[in-house]
């Protein structure tokens, strides 16, 4: 049972990371910076909770207000970085943006690996626990995921969400319709950073230890796979992709040594068999899924 | 925003515009002025630089020289979205709709600038927000109705017929609330009946929205009939300018059109 | 001075590896407009093939534990054959991960993911077969050649010279081939404009295969040489190089052969010049360069802007 709860927590965090990649992609921006912001979140939590005894309190458990403070601080730091670099970086198009954001992730990783205060290669240990067991983490991640999903679902119905979709369809035409494309892209990049940083904070406590391996190039691509696999046209896609692909290596344990080979096979075949991803808006409409009824699908006046 | 232009001063003025692509002179010292309220036509053989001129005006391509004045103010160098918000809207010769969004959503994107509501109100779906949203949808729907697209409102733009896509482009451009509408070959691919309807439609739109129209079109009879004034481009140069009558008799125009092998409409 | 020369040689030889890597990416990118994320795995396979072909034995951990080929090839021949083997694997990757998507005209993003899947499969199969331990290709593989030569006071390892020479050779041959030969010209035609190329009767499927074959061969040879130079650190060892090669590729400008070489040399040299005290930061040099260059020149150093007609 505890093992299952742990896996569930990982899956929920995977879904959050999927959403973090999805948000810019919805505005047509292939940003792979998610693991970088995730790492920032993790280090913020790890450093605050291990280096500042005042935050840790006297009880056996790490106080929840301190956790909340970490979440806020991590979001602030990641958000500030996203706003600072987003302007110039989002001028890049397509694969250039992808590679530039991978570069960012790698630069952060190398810095974390070598700067003294991040604990070097071994990282930071004994991150205090705000919950007694995985169930607490499960509830927390579930709540955060539900909140982010709700925001994404609302966003898809809002003017901003429609602007993002228009930019994804045709950035040039969108600009000619008066959309401030730079601002919309920057906002989507900011949202992505916030979600990743929050996931990082939870993850650091959950894993009890944090090091530079947590935000690497592999993670960039895996999180992208969540979105491509699940589908990138509605928020439910990356959630399903993140849940499924995080669980897959564990579920494949019975296959033994072959499990990573099978995992690779799934990632290879996913885009070929489901080019739109598992979850598409059309599918949801057919299943009468209630949450994505964009305003435009409401009966005409 | 809605102040009338100073009497006599043009709404849009191009002064000696140049545009080079490598060695190619796509536009060569083109000057012209579009007066408020007129329908101004731009004709010329393929590759003459007509679309390039639109791209310069709408800020997609940087001019290599010259000035663009909007109500007397220079707008060269502004981003396309700024220019659009100043009241210049355009359609695209090679249809650039948001293909997988519905026709209604395409128009709603055009209305983007008018839907400003606080993000929080939107997230919470407050009553005020919902009312505003309904208003916008009604506006979008009215535009679709005007262009006879209302029954197709929920269809994805990419699935519409060619003629309907052309009209949806116009609806989307109108939604931005322009003073000047730039139409790039709106009649291309339409059948003769649709073409004559288009003329009437453009006149109607001008009257209804108090518009000025700058239109590129190859179909010369249509242009002679529709436009108050015409400019003719050939190899990037403006070779004629004036009323349709004047342009029709201009020897340089006759030469360009008879010399140019590619002219479907002459 | 000697020290500087030494750094220069070190920098140039690792730059040569990056350039070889980037050239492989660039070939595929210019025909397909997609980055092949399995490229690093193909490089790794090249290293293992070389190791086996010169008579190395598989360690105790994989399914193939103890396997040793019944023959021993001289290093140059082994390297060549490893390149051919890597090319074959690269063709397999194309057939499995790229062709089905290309047939459908799918979004290039999808091929990025499916090629990643192919890479994951290759690396983990390799681990399954030969284990995760590191293998060294002994310098004795070079036969009678000395392990290092003294050059103006700097100790230059023969492998480094080999790397630089082979990279230079590859660049010359590749450029000549692209510019002069029918096949090379056809490849460029497909890269410029696939539709027109098809109208001219060029079989674009064949050209894609050609690009994958050549790029796989280059990766395989680079893998063998790096294996000889620094040993094979396990099935994942190509990934770091692959990523850096990607940075180099974009730094130089996607689709540009001189750009790939220039990018490789810049990064190699810059890394070599990082002071020993800060060697930990070495890995960030390529990416910092890349980041800075992209902000100033969004298409890389020698990349051509794409023309979008409205
Ligand atoms: N982005 C660009 N880069 C290079 N050349 C361009 C570009 N855009 C247009 N051109 C060239 O400029 C010239 C003018 O093109 P333009 O599209 O303005 O012609 P046009 O008058 O609209 O023709 P048509 O009637 O065929 O639409 C053409 O020779 C074209 O090839
Ligand atoms: Mg044109």
Q: For chain C, which residues make up each domain, given as ranges?
A: 17-244
Residue B87 backbone class (left: φ over 0; alpha: ψ -120 to 50; beta: rest): left
Q: Determine the Cα angle at A99 with ends A90 and A168, to 5°.
A: 45
Is C283 in Cβ contact with A103 (below 8 Å)? no
Q: pLDDT digit string (tens) for C161-185? A: 888 898 899 889 888 888 888 888 8
Distance from CA of C117 to the nearest CA of A (A): 4
CATH number at residue B225: 3.40.50.300
Could you say which of B130, B146, B177 is where a domain stops? B177
Residue with tokens 């020479």: C165
The domain tally of chain B equals: 2
CA distances A286 to A280, A290, B51, C80, Å, are 10, 11, 42, 56
Q: Which of A169, A172, A298 is closest, CB to CB, to B100?
A: A169
Retrieve residue C54's tokens.
Answer: 């010169």
Q: Are residues B168 and B184 in the same domain?
A: no
Q: Check residues C18 and B181 and name the one with the higher pLDDT.
A: B181
Greatest mean pLDDT among B86-95, C10-19, C200-209 lies in B86-95
Q: Check residues C128 and A299 and name the one with the higher pLDDT.
A: C128
By most ligand atoms within 8 Å of CB, the mutation choice from B51, B223, B235 for ligand 1 is B51
C306 and chain B in contact, CB less than 8 A: no
Is C97 in Cβ contact with A103 (below 8 Å)? no
Q: Are residues B167 and B250 in the same domain?
A: no
Q: Is B95 part of any domain? A: no
Q: Are residues B128 and B231 in the same domain?
A: no
Q: Is B115 part of any domain? A: yes
Distance from CA of B158 to the nearest CA of A (A): 11
Compute the distance from residue A255 Cα to the ligand 1 centre, in Å. Answer: 59
How far, rounded to the nearest angstrom, does the alpha carbon of residue A210 sit from its chain's CA centroid?
17
CA torsion angle for A176, A179, A182, A184 (degrees, to 10)?
-150
Q: Check residues C303 and C70 and name the one with the higher pLDDT.
A: C70
pLDDT of B70 = 96
Question: How much is the average pLDDT of A102-108?
Answer: 91
Report the share of chain B in percent with pLDDT over 70.
93
Other beta carbons less than 10 A from residue C5's beta carbon: 15
Q: How far apart are CA C192 and CA C181, in angstroms?
A: 16
End-to-end CA distance of chain B: 41
Q: pLDDT digit string (tens) for C53-84? A: 998 888 888 888 888 888 888 888 999 999 99
Q: Are residues B193 and B121 in the same domain?
A: no
Q: Do residues B224 and B266 touch, judged by C-beta distance below 8 A?
A: no
Q: Check residues A176 and C154 and name the one with the higher pLDDT.
A: A176
Compute the distance from residue B184 Cα to the ligand 1 centre, in Å. Answer: 13
Instruction: Give the range of the structural domain holding residue B126, as residue numbers without chain letter.
Output: 100-177
* Predicted TM-score (pTM) of this structure: 0.89
Q: Are residues B41 and B122 in the same domain?
A: no
Q: How far apart are CA A108 and CA A121, in angstroms?
A: 13
Q: Which of C97, C243, C290 is closest, CB to CB, to A268?
A: C97
pLDDT of A298 = 41
Of A53, A18, A45, the C-alpha closest to A198 is A45
Contacts B174 to A, Cβ<8 Å: none
pLDDT of C46 = 95
Sign of the alpha-carbon dihedral angle for C128, C130, C133, C137: negative
Q: Where are the beta strands (DSSP E) in chain C?
A: 148-151, 154-157
In sequence order, what are the residues at sequence separation of 6 or more whose Cβ sits closer than 8 angstroms to the Cβ of residue B35? Answer: B10, B11, B212
Mean of per-residue pLDDT scores for chain A: 89
Q: Check residues C231 and A76 and name the one with the higher pLDDT.
A: A76
pLDDT of A225 = 86
Q: What are the residues of chain B with a beta carbon less than 8 Å away from any beta carbon of chain A? A: 58, 60, 79-81, 84-85, 89-90, 92, 96-102, 104-105, 108-110, 112-113, 115-117, 119, 122-123, 125, 133-134, 137-138, 141, 150, 153-154, 172-173, 175-176
- pLDDT of residue B259 exceeding 70, the answer is no
User: With bands split at pLDDT 50, 70 and 90, how would you rate the model's confidence at A71?
Assistant: very high
Distance from CA of A6 to the nearest CA of B (A): 32
Q: Which of A90-94, A109-113, B7-11, B16-20 has the lowest mean pLDDT?
A: B7-11
Q: Are residues B147 and B167 in the same domain?
A: yes
Q: Are residues B227 and B143 in the same domain?
A: no
DSSP B234-264: ETTEEEEEE-HHHHHH-HHHHHHHHH-S--S
CA distances A181 to A88, A151, A164, A166, Å, are 13, 21, 8, 10
Q: Is B82 part of any domain? A: yes
Retrieve residue C105's tokens.
Answer: 């005209």
Compute the distance from residue A234 Cα to the ligand 2 centre, in Å. Answer: 36
Q: pLDDT digit string (tens) for A119-130? A: 888 889 889 999
CA of B25, nearest ligand number: 1
Of C125, C84, C38, the C-alpha closest to C221 is C84
Q: pLDDT digit string (tens) for B198-245? A: 999 999 999 999 999 999 999 888 999 999 999 999 999 999 999 999
CA torsion angle for A15, A21, A23, A24 (degrees, to 10)?
180
For the CA of B236, the closest atom of ligand 1 is 14
Neighbours of chain B (3+ CB pairs under 8 A): A, C
Compute the distance from residue B94 Cα to the ligand 2 centre, in Å. Answer: 8
Mean of per-residue pLDDT scores for chain C: 87
Is A300 in Cβ contact with B141 (below 8 Å)? yes
Distance from CA of A107 to the nearest CA of C (A): 5
Report the share of chain A in percent with pLDDT over 90.
59
- pLDDT of residue A299 exceeding 60, the answer is no
pLDDT of C104 = 83
Q: pLDDT digit string (tens) for C122-145? A: 999 999 999 888 888 887 777 777
Question: How much is the average pLDDT of B158-175?
Answer: 95
User: With bands split at pLDDT 50, 70 and 90, how would you rate the model's confidence at B258?
Assistant: low
Which secondary-structure segment (H or E) carries B216? strand B212-216
pLDDT of C282 = 86
CA distances C11 to A235, A263, C230, C257, C268, Å, are 46, 37, 14, 19, 4
DSSP C23-92: HHHHHHHHHHS---TTHHHHHHHHHHHHHHHTT----SSSTTTT---SS---HHHHHHHHHHHHHHHHHH
Could you say which of B151, B177, B203 is where a domain stops? B177
HSE (side-chain half, CA atoms, 13 Å) at B235: 8
Angle between helices A2-26 and A34-51 (to 10 degrees): 130
Neighbours of chain C (3+ CB pairs under 8 A): A, B
Q: How far apart are CA C235 and CA C226, in angstroms?
A: 14
Q: Is B114 part of any domain? A: yes
Q: Are residues B110 and B241 in the same domain?
A: no
Burial class for C41, CB neighbours closer than 10 Å (0-12, 13-18, 19+): buried
C60 and chain B in contact, CB less than 8 A: no
Q: Check residues B170 and C161 and name the one with the higher pLDDT.
A: B170
Q: Which of A169, A179, A301 is closest, CB to CB, to B137?
A: A301
Whether the predicted interface score ipTM is above 0.85 = yes
**Domain boundaries along the sequence of chain A:** 5-215
User: With bands split at pLDDT 50, 70 and 90, how would you rate the model's confidence at B8?
Assistant: low
Q: Are residues B19 and B142 in the same domain?
A: no
Residue with tokens 């290599």: B64
User: With bands split at pLDDT 50, 70 and 90, how would you rate the model's confidence at B264?
Assistant: very low
Q: Are residues B63 and B188 in the same domain?
A: yes
pLDDT of A293 = 47
Is A163 in Cβ contact with B104 (below 8 Å)? no
Q: Determine the Cα angle at B65 with ends B64 and B67, to 5°.
A: 130
Which secondary-structure segment (H or E) carries B116? none
pLDDT of B263 = 44
Q: Are residues B154 and B238 in the same domain?
A: no
Parallel, antiparallel or unpaired: strands B12-21 and B24-34:
antiparallel
How far, rounded to the nearest angstrom, does the alpha carbon of residue C4 sit from its chain's CA centroid?
27
In sequence order, what are the residues at sequence separation of 6 or more whose Cβ sits closer than 8 angstroms to the Cβ of residue A296? Answer: B101, B102, B104, B105, B108, B137, B153, B154
Phi/psi for B237 (5° steps) reads -105, 145
pLDDT of C308 = 65
What residues are in contact with ligand 1 under a 6 Å CB criterion? B 21, 24, 26, 44, 46-52, 93; C 307, 309
Distance from CA of B121 to the nearest CA of C (A): 35
Among A188, A296, A298, A299, the strongest candidate for a mutation testing the B interface, having the largest count of B CBs within 10 A, is A296
Q: How far apart are CA A75 and CA A55, in angstroms?
A: 18
Q: Is B93 part of any domain? A: no
CA distances B242 to B40, B103, B145, B234, Å, are 10, 37, 35, 15
End-to-end CA distance of chain A: 52
Retrieve residue B117's tokens.
Answer: 């509501």
Q: Which of A198-207, B70-79, C119-128, C186-195 has the lowest mean pLDDT?
A: C186-195
Retrieve residue C193's tokens.
Answer: 């404009």
Q: Do residues C74 and C91 touch, judged by C-beta distance below 8 A?
A: no
Parallel, antiparallel or unpaired: strands B73-74 and B88-90:
unpaired
End-to-end CA distance of chain C: 56
């Amino acid at each position: 049972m505890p093992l299952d709860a742990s896996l569930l927590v990982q899956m929920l965090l995977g879904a959050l990371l999927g959403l973090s990649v999805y948000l810019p992609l919805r505005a047509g921006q292939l940003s792979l910076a998610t693991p970088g912001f995730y790492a920032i979140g993790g280090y913020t939590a790890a450093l605050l909770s291990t280096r500042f005894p005042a935050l840790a309190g006297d009880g056996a458990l790490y106080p929840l207000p301190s956790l909340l403070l970490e979440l806020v601080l991590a979001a602030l730091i990641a958000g500030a970085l996203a706003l600072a670099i987003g302007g110039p970086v989002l001028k890049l198009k397509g694969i250039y943006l992808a590679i530039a954001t991978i570069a960012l992730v790698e630069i952060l990783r190398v810095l974390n690996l070598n700067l003294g205060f991040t604990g070097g290669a071994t990282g930071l240990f004994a991150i205090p626990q705000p919950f007694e067991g995985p169930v607490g983490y499960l509830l927390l991640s579930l709540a955060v995921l539900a909140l982010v999903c709700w925001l994404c679902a609302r966003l898809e119905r809002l003017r901003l969400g429609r602007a993002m979709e228009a930019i994804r369809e045709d950035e040039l035409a969108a600009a000619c319709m008066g959309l401030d494309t730079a601002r919309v892209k920057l906002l989507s990049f900011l949202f992505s950073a916030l979600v990743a940083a929050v996931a990082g904070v939870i993850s650091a406590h959950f894993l009890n230890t944090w090091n530079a391996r947590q935000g690497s190039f592999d993670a960039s691509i895996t999180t992208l796979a969540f979105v491509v696999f699940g589908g990138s046209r509605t928020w439910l896609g990356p959630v399903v992709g993140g849940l499924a692909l995080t669980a897959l290596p564990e579920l494949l344990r019975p296959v033994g040594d072959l499990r990573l080979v099978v995992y690779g096979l799934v990632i290879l075949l996913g885009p070929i068999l489901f080019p739109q991803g598992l979850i598409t808006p059309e599918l949801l409409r057919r299943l009468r899924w209630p949450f994505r009824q964009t305003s435009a699908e409401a009966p005409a006046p | 925003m809605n102040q009338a232009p100073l009497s006599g001063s043009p709404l849009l003025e191009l002064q000696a515009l140049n545009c080079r692509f490598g060695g190619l002179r796509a536009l060569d010292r083109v000057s012209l002025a579009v007066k408020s309220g007129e329908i101004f036509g731009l004709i010329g053989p393929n590759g003459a630089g007509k679309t390039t001129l639109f791209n310069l005006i709408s800020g997609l391509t940087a001019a290599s020289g010259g000035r663009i004045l909007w109500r007397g103010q220079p707008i060269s160098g502004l981003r396309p979205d700024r220019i659009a918000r100043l009241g210049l809207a355009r359609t695209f010769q090679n249809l650039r709709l948001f293909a997988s969004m519905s026709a209604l959503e395409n128009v709603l994107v055009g209305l983007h600038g008018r839907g400003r509501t606080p993000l929080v109100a939107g997230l919470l779906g407050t009553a005020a927000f919902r009312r505003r949203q309904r208003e916008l949808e009604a506006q979008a729907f009215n535009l679709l109705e005007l262009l006879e697209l209302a029954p197709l409102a929920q269809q994805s733009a990419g699935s519409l017929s060619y003629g309907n896509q052309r009209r949806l482009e116009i609806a989307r451009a109108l939604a931005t609330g322009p003073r000047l509408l730039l139409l790039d070959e709106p009649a291309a691919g339409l059948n003769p009946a649709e073409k004559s309807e288009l003329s009437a439609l453009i006149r109607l739109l001008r009257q209804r929205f108090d518009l000025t129209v700058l239109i590129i079109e190859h179909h010369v009879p249509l242009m002679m009939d529709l436009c108050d004034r015409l400019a003719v481009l050939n190899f990037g140069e403006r070779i004629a300018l004036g009323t349709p009558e004047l342009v029709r008799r201009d020897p340089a125009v006759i030469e360009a059109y008879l010399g140019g092998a590619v002219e479907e409409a002459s | 001075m000697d020290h500087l020369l030494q750094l220069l040689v070190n920098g140039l030889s690792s730059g040569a590896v990056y350039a070889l890597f980037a050239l492989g990416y660039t070939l595929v990118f210019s025909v397909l407009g997609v980055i092949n994320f399995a490229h690093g795995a193909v490089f790794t396979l090249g290293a293992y093939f070389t190791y086996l072909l010169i008579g190395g034995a598989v360690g105790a951990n994989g399914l193939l534990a103890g396997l040793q080929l019944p023959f021993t090839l001289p290093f140059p021949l082994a390297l060549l054959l490893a390149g051919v083997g890597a090319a074959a694997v690269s063709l397999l990757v194309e057939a499995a991960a790229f062709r089905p998507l290309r047939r459908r005209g799918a979004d290039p993003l999808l091929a990025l993911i499916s090629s990643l899947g192919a890479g994951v499969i290759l690396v983990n199969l390799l681990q399954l077969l030969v284990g995760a331990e590191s293998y060294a290709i002994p310098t004795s593989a070079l036969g009678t050649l000395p392990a290092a030569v003294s050059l103006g006071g700097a100790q230059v390892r023969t492998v480094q010279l080999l790397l630089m020479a082979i990279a230079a050779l590859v660049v010359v041959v590749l450029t000549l081939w692209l510019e002069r030969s029918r096949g090379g010209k056809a490849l460029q035609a497909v890269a410029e404009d696939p539709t027109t190329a098809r109208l001219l009767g060029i079989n674009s499927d064949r050209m894609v295969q050609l690009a994958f074959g050549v790029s796989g061969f280059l990766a395989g040879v680079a893998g063998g040489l790096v294996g000889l130079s620094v040993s094979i650190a396990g099935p994942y060892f190509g990934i770091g190089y692959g990523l850096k090669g990607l940075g180099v590729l974009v730094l130089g400008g996607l689709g540009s052969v001189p750009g790939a070489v220039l990018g490789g040399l810049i990064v190699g040299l810059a890394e070599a010049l990082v002071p020993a005290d800060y060697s930990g930061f070495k890995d960030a040099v390529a990416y910092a360069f890349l980041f800075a260059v992209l902000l100033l020149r969004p298409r890389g150093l020698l990349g051509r802007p794409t023309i979008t007609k409205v």
